[in-house]
Chains A and B, each alone.
Chain A
Amino acid sequence: MALLLPLVWFGPWWSVALAALWTGWVSGPRFVNALQFASAAGVVSAALAFIKDGQNAGLIAPRMSRLFGMTYSPMIFLIVFGVTFVTAFLCFRAGGALSVLYRSRTISEKSVAPN
Chain B
Amino acid sequence: MTRSGIIAAVLAPILWLLLLSFGVGSIPALGPMLEISGGVWQHQSIQLQDQEIAGLEKDVLVAIDKNGVPHLFADSAADLFLAQGFVTASQRLFQLELNGRQTAGRLTEIFGDRALFYDEFFTRFNMRENARSTLTRYSEDPHIKTMIDAYVAGVNAWIDVMPDVPPEYKILGIYPEKYSALKVINMGKALTWSLAGRSFDPLMTTYLQRLGAEKVLDLFPEFLPDKYEDFVMPGRPKNPHPPENPKMFGFVSGLTDVPKFPLPNPGRGSNNWVVGPDKSTTGTSLMANDTHLSLTLPNTWYENQLSCPEFNVYGASLAAIPGIVLGMNKDIAWGVTNGTTDVLDFFEVEFENETSLRYKWNGGWEDAKVTKEKILLKLFGQKTVEVIETKAGFVLHREGKLGLAADWTGFRSGHELRAVRAQMSAQSAAECIAGWRDWLAPIQNFVCVDQTSVGWIHGGFVPKREPGDGRFIMDGRGAKPLLTTPVERVPQSFNPRQGYLESANQKIAPPGYPDYLGWDYEPPFRGMMIRRALTAKPKLSPVDMMDMQNENFDVQAEMILPTLLRLAAEGADQVWLGRLRKWDYRIRADQPEAAVFKAWWDAVKESLFADELGEGATRLLPKDARVIWMLEKLEANPGEADVRWVDDRNTADQVESLTEIVSGALEKGLKKLEEQQGKNENLWTWTDYNRTQFMHAGRLPGFGSAVLPMNGSTTTVRGQGGMHGAVYKAVVQTGSWPKAWMQVPGGNEGDPFSKNYARFVREWSDGQMREVEFYKDRDEAKARAERVIVLKPGGPR
Contact = CB atoms under 8 A, between A and B. Distances in A.
Which secondary structure dominates where chain A touches chain B? helix
A38 to B, nearest CB: 11
Interface stretch (B34-42, B348-356, B533-541): B34-42
A52 B36 contact: yes
Contact of A13 (B39, B45, B701): B39
Given A17-B17, A60-B43, A67-B171, A90 B703 contact: no
A96 B60 CA distance: 61
Contact of A98 (B10, B36, B701, B754): B10
Interface stretch (B1-9, B644-652, B654-662): B1-9
Interface residues of A, number: 41
Contacts of A11: 37
A46 to B, nearest CB: 10
Contacts of B20: 13, 83, 87
B248 interface: no
Contacts of B36: 8-9, 13, 45, 48-49, 52
Contacts of A33: none
B443 to A, nearest CB: 38
Nearest to B34: A80
Nearest to A90: B13
B41 A13 contact: no
A60 B37 contact: no
B32 interface: yes
A57 B755 contact: yes
Contact of A12 (B35, B40, B757): B35
B496 interface: no
B769 interface: no
Contacts of A63: 702-703, 752-753
A1 interface: no
**Interface hub of B10, B12, B13 (most chain A Cβ within 10 A):** B13
A108 to B, nearest CB: 13
Nearest to B703: A63
Nearest to A64: B40
B41 A52 contact: yes
A35 interface: no
Interface in B24-40: 30-32, 34-40
A17 B702 contact: no
A97 B45 contact: no
Contacts of A80: 34
A67 B700 contact: yes
A59 interface: yes
A100 B1 CA distance: 7
Contacts of B703: 63, 66-67
A47 to B, nearest CB: 10
A65 to B, nearest CB: 7
A8 B38 CA distance: 10
B701 A97 contact: no
A94 interface: yes
A19 to B, nearest CB: 13
B175 interface: no
Nearest to B171: A67
Interface in A72-115: 79-80, 83, 86-87, 90-91, 93-94, 96-98, 100-101
B752 A90 contact: no
Interface residues of B, number: 35
A87 B17 contact: yes
Given A87-B16, A90-B16, A94-B12, A12 B38 contact: yes
B30 A59 contact: no
A30 to B, nearest CB: 11
B9 A97 contact: yes
Contacts of B752: 63
Interface in A12-69: 12-14, 17, 21, 29, 45, 48-49, 52-53, 56-57, 59-60, 62-69
A56 B34 contact: no
Contacts of A98: 6, 10
B109 to A, nearest CB: 20
B12 A90 contact: yes
A7 to B, nearest CB: 9
B702 A79 contact: no
Contact of B41 (A10, A14, A60): A60
A13 B42 contact: no
Contacts of A79: 34
A65 B702 contact: yes
Contacts of B9: 29, 90, 93-94, 96-97
B170 to A, nearest CB: 11
A107 to B, nearest CB: 14
Given A12-B38, A49-B41, A94-B9, A59 B702 contact: no
A66 B43 CA distance: 18
A94 B13 contact: yes
B436 to A, nearest CB: 41
Given A57-B755, A94-B9, A29 B1 contact: yes
Contacts of B39: 13
B6 A100 contact: yes
Contacts of B42: 52
A49 B6 contact: no
Interface in B509-532: none
Contacts of B1: 29, 97, 100
Interface in B700-714: 700-703
Contact of A97 (B5, B16, B31, B754): B5
A59 B754 contact: yes
B753 A60 contact: yes
Nearest to B15: A90
B34 A13 contact: yes
A49 B753 contact: no
A90 to B, nearest CB: 4
A103 B36 CA distance: 35
Contacts of B12: 90, 93-94
Contacts of B43: 52, 56, 60
Contacts of A90: 9, 12-13, 16
Contacts of B17: 14, 17, 87, 91
A13 B755 contact: no
B198 to A, nearest CB: 32
Interface in B67-86: none
Contacts of B171: 67
28 contacts: A11-B37, A12-B38, A13-B34, A13-B35, A13-B36, A13-B38, A14-B17, A49-B41, A56-B753, A59-B753, A59-B755, A59-B757, A60-B40, A60-B43, A63-B753, A64-B702, A65-B702, A66-B701, A67-B700, A67-B703, A80-B34, A83-B30, A87-B13, A87-B16, A94-B9, A94-B12, A97-B6, A100-B6
Interface of A: 8-14, 17, 21, 29, 45, 48-49, 52-53, 56-57, 59-60, 62-69, 79-80, 83, 86-87, 90-91, 93-94, 96-98, 100-101
Nearest first, the 5 closest Cβ-Cβ pairs linking A and B are A66-B702, A97-B9, A90-B13, A13-B35, A52-B41
Interface of B: 1, 5-6, 9-10, 12-13, 16-17, 20, 30-32, 34-43, 45, 167, 171, 700-703, 752-755, 757
Given A13-B35, A63-B752, 4 more contacts: A56-B45, A60-B753, A65-B702, A90-B13
